[in-house]
Structure 1
Amino acid sequence: MSHPSKGIMVVTGGSRGIGAAISLLAAGRGYDVCINYSTHGDRAQGIAAQIEEIGQKAMIFQADVSQEAEVADMFRAVDNKLGPVSALVNNAGISGGSARVDELDGHALDLMFHINIKGTFLCCKEALLRMSTRHGGKGGGIVNFSSAAARLGAAGRNVHYAASKAAINTLTFGLAQEVAAEGIRVNAISPGMITTEMQDPERLARMTPMLPMQRAGSPEEVAQAALWLLSDEASYVSGTVLGVSGAR
């Protein structure tokens, strides 16, 4: 049975890991949710089914966030099925593989920067066109995904990924200032080592004893932080990068 929605959320990369945890927690908090996915459609459908069991509306939409037309189509579909978005979580991203800078190739860089940076910009643009009071909207919230790597540098592993996430930090602060008077708050989450499929199990096992808390974080712990940033409890929080990294 569907209940009045607290709002409408788009979660990119919402079919698994942190994105799935955010989608489910958002539904539990009263949001209707659009689960964006690139490949795992069956898993996106499974998350949507769980959301509907909670009593909220859900839809899935396949889109490559780095493709402007696909992103625009997704937000129009959300308009038609759920209504104008009020919360956006830019979770979609790729690691770009493990390599030193002198081992990288341009194609791999293009792919990663297009998804991690361009994709976040494109989704923010479509959300702003619906949320901003400048465009007749009622306000809303955006949570971008950075990484502790942006601060740690990721030397010898993936400096390229760290650089893409440092760009997200700058986007978050600049955009927050740009739309602060238009009813929109923009923040970012900077996760540390989290137990998701993107994490290499061998590296996780090797690194865990060296982490300050001697454990990795869970997707659910990251989801809690994201929902707090979108809540009224964080009503004066904007332009902030919130570390969820267990003191690392």
Structure 2
Amino acid sequence: MVPDRRVAVVTGGSRGIGRAVCVRLAKAGYDICLNYAGNAAAAEETAALCREAGAQVLTVQADVSSTQGCTDLFDAVKKQFGRVDVLVNNAGITRDGLLLRMSEADYDAVLGTNLKGAVFCCKAASRMMMHQRYGRIINMTSVVGLRGNAGQVNYAASKAGLIGLTKSLAKELASRNITVNAVAPGFVGTEMTAAMPEAARTAALATIPAGRMADPDEIARAVEFFAAEGSSYITGQVLCVDGGMAV
């Protein structure tokens, strides 16, 4: 039985790409569970935008890099909505630096949030999706996971790991009508890129054939595509939304 409204869980949904994904899915008719790490004010701003679009919204503060955080998140989703149809693993952090100077703590923090957190969330969500015999999992990787980038060994490793996770889990879940895909953004106009030094921004733009950074909603549209019921025969794929960087 198809529900009246599907439910989407978006980790790291309070700002940037996560906010755009929440709002885009709300406009497409999904109810939203918005997970955030610490910025309650930003989470509430995003929730308000989703409610304006007609969605029921649940905000859950939880650290998805821990198994307990993921358990708390999906317990809250189950209590509020009783199901989860779409999982968007968007939560991510950076701790940039050259490998020879990189601390174990900086490596562990990035792998913990970006990769281990996605694994835990996939595990929790797929249990519910298998019972429903329906689900869409979208992992937010990066062009850096495909091409690498000096000074981002930890970040690149986490994003490349997400690609391996996507392809492996797609094979495990395909028979249960659950698809697993990934979106690989390039440079996106968010608070993170706005904080880059001007010289770094100029150098970054020189690597983009399209000559500009993406708007967050352009990334969200790719997520919406993978989340759609009609995308049922697409799984294990990585869609680059990068203005041609990975060509």
| Shared fold, TM over 0.5 | yes
Correspondence for 1:145: 140
Q: Alignment partner for residue 124 of structure 2, among 84, 101, 126?
A: 126
Q: Within 2, Cα distance between the matches of 1:6 and 1:228?
A: 17
CA contact (8 A) 1:208 1:214 kept: yes
Output the TM-score relative to the length of structure 1: 0.93
Deviation at 1:223, TM superposition (A): 0.1
Paired residues in the alignment total 240
CA contact (8 A) 2:177 2:232 kept: no
Are residues 82 and 201 of structure 1, via their aligned partners in 2, closer, same or farther at CA, if it must alter by over 3 Å? farther
CA contact (8 A) 1:143 1:230 kept: yes
Correspondence for 2:226: 229
Deviation at 1:5, TM superposition (A): 4.4
1:25-82 residue CA offsets vs partner (Å, 9 max, x unmatched):
1000000001100011111111111211222100100000011112111111111112
CA contact (8 A) 1:5 1:31 kept: no
Correspondence for 1:68: 67
Deviation at 1:165, TM superposition (A): 0.6
Correspondence for 2:13: 14
Are residues 14 and 5 of structure 1, via their aligned partners in 2, closer, same or farther at CA, if it must alter by over 3 Å? farther
- Return 5+ residue gaps in structure 2 as ranges: none
- Return 5+ residue gaps in structure 1 as ranges: none
Amino acid aligned to 2:32? V
Are residues 145 and 221 of structure 1, via their aligned partners in 2, closer, same or farther at CA, if it must alter by over 3 Å? same
Q: State the percentage of identical aligned residues.
A: 39
Asked whether 1:86 is paired with 2:58, we answer no
- How large is the RMSD of aligned CA atoms in angstroms? 1.3
Asked whether 1:57 is paired with 2:59, we answer no
1:210-221 paired onto structure 2 within 5 Å: 210-221=207-218
**Segments of 4+ moved more than 4 angstroms:** none
CA contact (8 A) 2:208 2:242 kept: no
1:238 is paired with a residue whose SS is coil
Q: Within 1, Cα distance between the matches of 2:203 and 2:5?
A: 42
Amino acid aligned to 1:47? T
Deviation at 1:201, TM superposition (A): 5.1
CA contact (8 A) 1:57 1:82 kept: no
2:184 is paired with a residue whose SS is strand
